[in-house]
């Protein structure tokens, strides 16, 4: 139930631009039915409003995301210069948009060295990070290797793999 409520609220936030052009959103129309006193009229109102909401979902006008899905999106977008989750969606999910994610825990599933001898790392979420300093890191054994990627100042990031020293890196993908 909580997922449905959070999803509808998030869907409303994502549908706001379209709703502004077409009047009330499909979710607002469902909420408006609650004020109808006559039972038969209220049921008819809900039937019509839910039908419009289903159509909006089917047409892609309204999309729902759970809080867990938003957290996954944020983790996968970590290190990019644009936010993958609009602030109004973060707020609807109970998060403060000004509190940015400053680190993520990932697994390094593969690595290689570029021609300059810098590591190029691929995470379990498909992110690709390239080392941008001269810190020597030796990956031992077979992966995956646990890692923490932390944001620094001025759009820098540090990758710490297991007990190895942290290295400066830039996200490429």
Per-residue pLDDT reduced to its tens digit, 81-117: 655 566 666 666 666 655 677 788 898 998 988 999 8
pLDDT averaged over every residue in the chain: 78
- Do 27 and 88 reside in the same domain of the chain? yes
State the total domains in the chain.
Answer: 2
- Do 117 and 62 reside in the same domain of the chain? no
- Do 120 and 88 reside in the same domain of the chain? no
- Do 109 and 162 reside in the same domain of the chain? yes
Q: Which residue range is the domain that position 161 belongs to?
A: 103-171
Identify the domain boundary among 100, 125, 147.
100
What's the pLDDT at 41? 92
- Do 140 and 108 reside in the same domain of the chain? yes
- Do 89 and 152 reside in the same domain of the chain? no
- Do 95 and 109 reside in the same domain of the chain? no
With a cut of 90, say whether residue 40 has pLDDT above it: yes
89 compared with 157, residue with greater pLDDT: 157
- Do 73 and 155 reside in the same domain of the chain? no
- Do 79 and 4 reside in the same domain of the chain? yes
Cβ–Cβ under 8 Å, residues 107 and 147:
yes
pTM for this structure? 0.52
- Do 74 and 3 reside in the same domain of the chain? yes
| Average pLDDT estimate for 129-133 | 91
Query: What backbone torsions phi and psi does residue 102 show, to the nearest 5 degrees?
Result: -110, -5
């Amino acid at each position: 139930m909580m997922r449905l409520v959070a999803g509808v609220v998030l869907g409303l936030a994502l549908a706001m631009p379209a709703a502004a052009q077409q009047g009330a959103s499909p979710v607002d129309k469902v909420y408006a039915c609650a004020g109808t006193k006559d039972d038969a009229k209220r049921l008819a109102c809900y039937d019509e409003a839910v039908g419009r909401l289903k159509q909006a979902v089917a047409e892609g006008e309204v999309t729902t995301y759970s809080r867990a899905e938003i957290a996954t999106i944020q983790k996968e977008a970590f290190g990019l210069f644009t936010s993958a989750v609009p602030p109004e969606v973060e707020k609807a999910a109970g998060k403060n948009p000004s509190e940015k994610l400053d680190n993520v825990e990932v697994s390094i599933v593969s690595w290689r060295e570029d021609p300059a001898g810098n590591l190029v790392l691929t995470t379990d979420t498909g992110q690709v990070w390239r080392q941008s300093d001269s810190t020597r890191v030796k990956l031992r054994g077979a992966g995956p290797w646990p890692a923490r990627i932390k944001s620094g100042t001025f759009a820098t990031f540090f990758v710490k793999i297991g007990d190895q020293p942290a290295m400066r890196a830039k996200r490429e993908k």
